[in-house]
Amino acid sequence: MASTIRLFVDHPLGQAQTVPLSSAQAHYLFGVMRRGAGEVIEVFNGRDGTWTAEVIEARKKAGVLACVEQIAPQRNAPDVWLLFAPIKKQRTDFIVEKAAELGAARIVPVVTEFTNAERVRQDRLQAHAVEAAEQCGGNYVPEVADATKLPDLLDGWDASRRILFCDEGRAGAADVLSGLPAGPWAILIGPEGGFSDRERARLHSIDHAHPVSLGPRILRADTAAVAALTLWQQALGDWT
């Protein structure tokens, strides 16, 4: 039996609702996956849950689906953002993909003093987030924001959203997160070279920033992002 294909569509979903496909989606569905009229796939839009949809029109660069049945209600991610300093291209892609799989609600590339990466393309990273959501079975796609400088981010920060600041300077026993309050959170991961002394001092001075250790070893940035999201989900997120 062929595996179920899942597509994210930016279109309302509902009983008998027709859904146009983009050129790229039509190429993937009909050219790459060799599906055709009459076949059924899954679709979601981040608002209306997951639906089965039948292909009613299949062309080389276009197509139309018709919603058949809702098979899962909408389930949004918990209110946690991932803030991370971009690194090498493939590892930045990895961070975005895993953040989407692990349930981050928003992903924000952050430029720090020691950030050493190529220009970040928001559209490409957003496409990676969409692909990750399609593959992991979720029906929510996190927004990937444009890259922003850390001082600018902190200057405009809403203090009601606490920051879990993963401080490599605290390497040792992993901090327990279960005692932290529920509510909106953001997880901040630094660059490969770590935060500068000035950045660390500012973060430690912020009342709503909570420095934590991720264990006795200093982790690579991509590993730290996965570890921190996993710990947060287990303590405060929708894994509990």
Q: What is the pLDDT of residues 57-113, one digit of tens each?
A: 999 899 999 999 999 999 999 999 999 999 999 999 999 999 999 999 999 999 999
CA angle, 98 as apex, 95 and 102 as ends, to 5°?
A: 135
Question: What's the pLDDT score for residue 122?
Answer: 96
Whether this prediction's pTM lies above 0.95 is answered by: no
Which regions of the chain carry the CATH code 3.40.1280.10? 80-236
Which regions of the chain carry the CATH code 2.40.240.20? 6-72
- Name the 3-class secondary structure at 217: coil
What number does CATH give the domain 6-72?
2.40.240.20
Q: Which residues of the chain have pLDDT under 50?
A: 1
Task: State the fold for domain 80-236.
Answer: Alpha/beta knot (3.40.1280)
- Name the 3-class secondary structure at 134: helix
